[in-house]
Amino acid sequence: MSASIVNDFSLRIATPNGTGSQTSNLIIFRSLFHMGLAPSAKNLFPSNIQGLPTWYQIRVSDAGWQARREEWQVMIPLNPMTFAQDLRESLPGTVVIDNADQKGVDAALFTGLTRYSVPFDSIAREGISDAKLRPRMRNLIYVGVVAELFGIPEPSLRAAIDAVFPKKKEVADSNFEAAMLGMRHVREKIEKRDPYRFAPADQTAGKILIEGNDAAALGCVFGGCSVVSWYPITPASSLAEYLIGHLAKMREKDADGSNRYIVIQAEDELAAIGMAIGANWAGARAMTSTSGPGISLMSENLGLGYYAEIPCVVFDVQRVGPSTGLPTRTQQSDLLQVAFQSHGDTRFPMLFPADAKEAFELSTAAFDLAEHYQTPIFVMSDLDLGMNLWVSDELEYPTTPIDRGKLATDEVLAKLADWGRYLDVDGDGVPYRTVPGKTTDPRTAHLTRGSGHDEQGRYSEDPAVYARNLDRLARKIDGTVDRLPEPVLHAAKGKKKKGAGGGELGLIAFGTTDHAVREALAGMSSPPPYLRLRAWPFHASVGDFIREHERVLVIEQNQQGQVAHLLRMAFPELAPRIESSRYYGGLPLSAAFVRGALELEPAKA
């Protein structure tokens, strides 16, 4: 056996969807976290409820990288439907833990692989007496095999099982005993012939485990959200479901015990966004969560929110389109759709969280931004961030007070020489808004209009009035950059990388792409400067970054190079410098893709 490879390999587990393997995989993941490792988990599951293939990939690395690794070093092929494919796609030397009880296996498939054949069915029949529980409990046997073969201590395994089954000691005990069946089999029957092992580490100080949708839901609570209107859609449903639980636990109740929040599962996405906009107009902080198909259905009401200037927060947890597309795969392909959502001249500010901590922080900030600028604000997450479990920095309690923006209270109106619902008093394009029932001044009586209107909210078809109103709205959206999160610059170390054309190269990315980019750059002796975008419209500093480089490569997860297009629109004089490298296969981005993009002349979008 070659020299040990410690804490630097990936496991890929293939099972049929709906067989309970997710619980077993989470136990392995949490066991590693208990050991002080910062594992990465990517759950690749089908869009049907049961039966089709699912893969779960767990990665450990010295630096705790969270990006997907394209290859795996350990394969557990427990799905007969994909068994041959899983082995063919495994590189030579891959460790394979297969089910010895599976019939009709072609031994030639194992050529060049290190095989541990375990009779999972036989072990389950002999060691698990409850025939009804046996099919699901059998999965715990491979958990035990992994633990014993690669060095997960029993206390870490037990701690993980207790975390997955809190306050259910009997269930936890039975699952631990099932895992012990696998551990004992390895001890008694298997001689280790591979170099891979886990070892305790110190990667988890100040870290937590959390899904991006869960973090975003917590951000909504701390952002003051009190109305949730939503319609189920993968991969956004769990955001609303987490939020329902957090509101129930964390929101104070009225004296009579009634809730101080409202959650409505609407009949469709059209109703969901309409309810959210209506609640915001009435003075609540409301949100909805959806994905690309839902955004398409929300288009007209979002235009109403833009033109009538009503705050709203919308979470777009992006998946693969168009149409139904691949509902359980990840992508960053709704950007152009959202930026100019609805008919007519509209623009909707977007926030780009890269990790769970930012999902929390930007969710909280979105409610302030929406009310400050009186417009819908989008938080652009994706399936990878939203539905996978991440090792994250601890979430920090917000310290800034809530910003409700310009409210036309009686006190404010007394100081204003003139007021109109759509009148730009301060020169920043942002008018003073009213909340029904909060202002007694008779001047504030008006209709909120989605049709043509003047500064006082009166109906108007006057071309000059319309143009003046649209120009003010554009000026207001331009001004959002004053409060949108600024981009993050990762300066180059040492000499800047030269591009294929001989000029200096700069790199731009955003969202979850950041994890693969930073890992790729960390492995380079002379990486290029890297700017991570966190919002659109873009800050002036983004243009400055492009000017400093002869070529700028945008790494993104869509086919059309959508952020590259937005950059060219924002900085047309710099358009020839902007190139894009695009991955759009639906899997989370890997550092290998980024390294390849930096080595090759990128395609221009």
Output the six-digit token pair for 116.
């541990």
Q: What are phi and psi of 5, to 5 degrees?
A: -110, 110
Q: Say which range, 12-21, 53-62, 354-363, 422-431, has the weakest mean pLDDT.
A: 12-21
Does residue 505 sit in helix, strand or coil?
A: strand
Q: How far apart are the C-alpha atoms of 242 and 516, rounded to whole Å? A: 27
CATH architecture of residue range(s) 5-204:
3-Layer(aba) Sandwich (3.40)
pLDDT value of position 51: 72
Q: Which residues pair with 211 in a beta bridge?
A: 389
Question: Residue 189: in which H helix or E strand, if any?
Answer: helix 169-189
Calculate the alpha carbon distances from 138 to 22, 32, 141, 491, 565 in Å.
Answer: 13, 21, 5, 50, 50
pLDDT tens, residue by residue, 210-234? 999 999 999 999 999 999 999 999 9
Percent of the chain at pLDDT above 70? Answer: 97
pLDDT tens, residue by residue, 566-578? 999 999 999 999 9
In 68-168, where does DSSP find H-type helix?
A: 83-88, 120-127, 134-150, 154-164
pLDDT tens, residue by residue, 514-563? 999 999 999 999 999 999 999 999 999 999 999 999 999 999 999 999 99
Q: How far apart are the C-alpha atoms of 331 and 110, rounded to whole Å? A: 34
Core vs surface per residue 350-365: b (16+ CB within 10 A) or e: bbbbbbbbbbbbbbbb
Output the six-digit token pair for 395.
């979430």
Q: Is 452 within 8 Å of 498 (Cβ atoms)?
A: no
Classify strands 227-230 and 286-290 as parallel, antiparallel or unpaired: parallel
Place of tokens 């931004």: 369
Q: Can you spell out the DSSP letters for 398-410?
A: --SPP----B--H
Q: Is 178 within 8 Å of 130 (Cβ atoms)?
A: no
Would the CATH topology of 210-393 be identical to that of 488-599? Answer: yes
pLDDT value of position 498: 46
* Domain 488-599 classification at class level: alpha beta
Q: Is 563 within 8 Å of 489 (Cβ atoms)?
A: no
Place of tokens 């009148």: 423
Q: Is the pLDDT of residue 49 over 70?
A: no
pLDDT value of position 571: 98
pLDDT band, residue 493 (cuts 50/70/90): low
Q: Can you spell out the DSSP letters for 532-558?
A: EE-EESPPHHHHHHHHT-SEEEEEESS
Q: Where are the domains of the chain?
A: 5-204, 210-393, 410-482, 488-599
Place of tokens 């947890």: 317
**Would you give the distance in Å from CA 414 to the centre of its chain?**
45
pLDDT value of position 1: 65
Does residue 467 sit in helix, strand or coil?
A: helix
Calculate the alpha carbon distances from 165 to 147, 158, 159, 387, 576 in Å.
Answer: 18, 11, 10, 20, 56
pLDDT value of position 604: 39
Q: Is 321 within 8 Å of 586 (Cβ atoms)?
A: no
Q: Can you spell out the DSSP letters for 294-345?
A: HHHHTHHHHHHHHHHT--EEEEEEEEE-STT-EEEEE----HHHHHT-SSSS
Q: Is 321 within 8 Å of 331 (Cβ atoms)?
A: yes
Does residue 442 sit in helix, strand or coil?
A: helix
Amino acid at 352: F
Q: What are phi and psi of 15, to 5 degrees?
A: -145, 165
- Residues near 145 by Cβ (< 8 Å), separated by ≥ 6? 97, 116, 118, 182, 183, 185, 186
pLDDT tens, residue by residue, 327-349? 999 999 999 999 999 999 999 99
pLDDT tens, residue by residue, 229-275? 999 999 999 999 999 999 999 998 999 999 999 999 999 999 999 99
pLDDT band, residue 500 (cuts 50/70/90): very low
Q: Is the pLDDT of residue 602 over 50?
A: no
pLDDT tens, residue by residue, 299-327? 999 999 999 999 999 999 999 999 999 99
Q: Is the pLDDT of residue 483 over 70?
A: yes
Q: Is the pLDDT of residue 494 over 60?
A: no
Amino acid at 261: Y
Output the six-digit token pair for 327.
């509902």
**CATH number, span 210-393:** 3.40.50.970
pLDDT value of position 50: 65
Amino acid at 587: L
To 10 degrees, the CA torsion angle through 63, 66, 67, 73?
70
Calculate the alpha carbon distances from 379 to 18, 351, 367, 542 in Å.
Answer: 31, 5, 10, 20
Q: What are phi and psi of 101, to 5 degrees?
A: -85, -5
